[in-house]
Amino acid sequence: MFIYSALLWVGSLLVFISSPNQKLIEKRVSKKIAWPVCIILMLSSWYFLSEQYAAISAALVVLTAVMAFWTLIVLAHGHLKMTLYPFALSGLLISITLAQLGGV
């Protein structure tokens, strides 16, 4: 179950670091690369979840998780002064832990 969460976290973080407002890295990632990779990771996550749940339920879980991760990233980025790797690793651990506790 942690695979879908890890894929979604990486995709959400990748889209965030392509934003001009982020301060995690100095040179931001190209949006032409970030968005397609995020979409591929979201579809992969949906595929892994659709093996256990109905397709529409898996899609709703993916959509909800991405919205939650983007909100979490923006709020944490505003309050925590970290570099990319500690920020990404701590967010990944939190998302995996919450996915395991929540059962999805």
Asked if residue 104 has pLDDT above 70, the reply is no
Q: What confidence score (pLDDT) does residue 43 get? A: 96
Question: For a pLDDT cut of 70, what percent of the chain falls above it?
Answer: 98
- For residue 48, count other CB atoms closer than 10 A to its CB: 16
Q: What would the pLDDT profile of 57-78 be if each residue is shown by its tens digit?
A: 999 999 998 998 889 888 887 7
Amino acid identity, position 84: L
**Which region, left, alpha or beta, applies to residue 60 given φ > 0 means left and ψ of -120 to 50 means alpha?**
alpha
Query: pTM to 2 decimals?
Result: 0.83
95, 5 contact by CB (below 8 A): yes
